[in-house]
Amino acid sequence: LFRSGNSWGNFPDKVAIQLNDTHPAIAVVEFMRILLDEQDMAWEEAWDITTRTLAYTNHTLLPEALEKWGVPLFERVLPRHLQIIFDLNVHVMALCEAKWPGDNEKKRACSLIEENGEKRVRMAHIAAVGSHAVNGVAALHTELLRKHLFPEFDALFPGRFQNKTNGITPRRWLLQCNQRLAALVTRALGGEGWARDLDQLRGLEKFADDGAFRREFMAVKRANKVDLAHVIQAECGITVSPDAIFDAQIKRLHEYKRQHLNLLHIMALYRRILHDPSLDIAPRVFIFAAKAAPGYDVAKNLIRAINVIGARINSDERTGGKIKVAFLPNYRVSLAEKIIPAADVSEQISTAGKEASGTGNMKLALNGALTVGTLDGANVEILEEVGDENIFIFGMTVEEVEALRARGYNPWDLHRDDEEIRAVLDWLGSDYWTPGENGAFGAVHGTLLSGGDPYMVLADFQSYSDCQKRVDAAYRDRDAWARKAILNTARVGKFSSDRTIREYSRDIWNLTPVAIP
């Protein structure tokens, strides 16, 4: 089993196993089973080896990802694992009793078994208890992990929780996918060293006030937009102008990511143009690309709504081509590699507190897109890096979302009091878009009103609409916009995956770097 000089005693010094989110949490129990049953190890020794070997990265606070498996399922499929889980729970309860004598609420919060109705095993609890390190993937996300998801474990295991902000590889997400910009950066910085040390991009800051460089930077962006316009024509049959704002929301289709907030704003813009054909707005192409979970009815309904409403807008000559909507099919890495270099605006508009990190926000900023975003996930850190004047922040903070929910949020109040919200929602719920098919978008309409608007779309609508007006005004000053775009590219070196992996290696895996000759 072991080479000379190695044994189970030094296994954690030689092997690191990272649990990538909650899905592989059963590995904690399986490792214990191997050590207990196959290696005939004492419980305390097996637990020590297990916890020193394993570490856990939490990637989301959403309940559907914090898996809970029914005890009856375990009894049928993994009966021995369930026995071990029960033994682990005795251990956890003993730790709770030592920390908080007689406090049954703390024990209930820490228990590996949820006993509210059907007994279920809390897999995220197993991952957190069975790992020597637990990390979130952005500073805000880690703070929320410690304060809201695992506050008892944070107290029970001091120092176990830490942050590792996500990163992206500059080799794929700039050097390969945006060769025009990569060549410009390489020429400006005097070499390709930036692709291995993304902090070198800071050297571009001095070019942000160079008129000639700004023109070159925007010429690269326009050439990329011409390329994407060809893709949109080929895939969607829609003709778009590369001189319009290319506004991209590309990510998984989920209510918390709020593609429906984007859609409601598009509908509001369309309505404003119909009421005032002379409305002075910068032409804009709204670009969507996303996939949804197969059984996620609201998300599937939203995909249809974006496509159907977008088709009506695209064919309406009354808009004068001021707005176009393109939903590119079959979202995938190779398609993202075409959209990201061409985007002017990056939509990162999740409900504050719901997005763990995001990496699309990093990829788009690296390629000179300006973020429209809430103070959520890594947006918070992007703001810190690029500066207030080079990003468009809107909407409620985490604390404001929680306070509104605590006061008793009712979306019908906004439907009653805000004329534009009421008009757009009633329009969405009508058969205007699908004649003869009443309620075609009922799933989306329903979640926003009768469903209680769980992701606060309507609560953030006015702030989002006002923010988009700021984007419109800023884009008209093309020289100033170029400066903002250059500074986005220059200041996001922190978000290299090289930095992220160095931090995992140093702080969790205890690896010593190996110098390559």
Q: In the chain, what is the greatest distance between 2 CA atoms, to the nearest angstrom?
A: 81
Output DSSP code: residue 102. T
Q: Among this protein's residues, is 99 annotated catalytic? A: no
What pairing do the DSSP bridges indicate for beta strands 323-327 and 345-348?
unpaired
The single residue of 251, 322, 338, 491 carrying the catalytic annotation is 251
Strands (E), 93-156: 113-114, 120-122, 134-136
- Closest C-alpha among 418, 388, 384 to residue 484: 388
The single residue of 52, 59, 291, 502 carrying the catalytic annotation is 59
Do 373 and 349 form a contact (C-beta atoms < 8 A)? Answer: yes
- Closest C-alpha among 350, 405, 404, 345 to residue 376: 350
Cβ-defined contacts of 422-429 (< 8 Å, 24+): 423/271, 424/264, 424/267, 424/268, 424/271, 425/264, 425/449, 425/458, 427/267, 427/271, 428/264, 428/267, 428/305
The single residue of 265, 363, 445, 483 carrying the catalytic annotation is 363
The single residue of 180, 252, 291, 300 carrying the catalytic annotation is 252
CA–CA gap between residue 338 and residue 268 (Å, rounded): 28
Do 62 and 22 form a contact (C-beta atoms < 8 A)? Answer: no
| Residue 206 structure tokens | 């001095």
What pairing do the DSSP bridges indicate for beta strands 134-136 and 161-163?
parallel
The single residue of 169, 186, 359, 397 carrying the catalytic annotation is 359
Q: Among this protein's residues, is 359 annotated catalytic? A: yes
Q: Among this protein's residues, is 59 annotated catalytic? A: yes
Q: Among this protein's residues, is 215 annotated catalytic? A: no
CA–CA gap between residue 168 and residue 182 (Å, rounded): 15
Q: Among this protein's residues, is 363 annotated catalytic? A: yes
The single residue of 68, 257, 258, 322 carrying the catalytic annotation is 257
Do 324 and 244 form a contact (C-beta atoms < 8 A)? Answer: yes
Q: Among this protein's residues, is 251 annotated catalytic? A: yes
Angle at 350 between CA 229 and CA 246, to 5 degrees: 15
- Catalytic residue ranges: 59, 251-252, 257, 359, 363
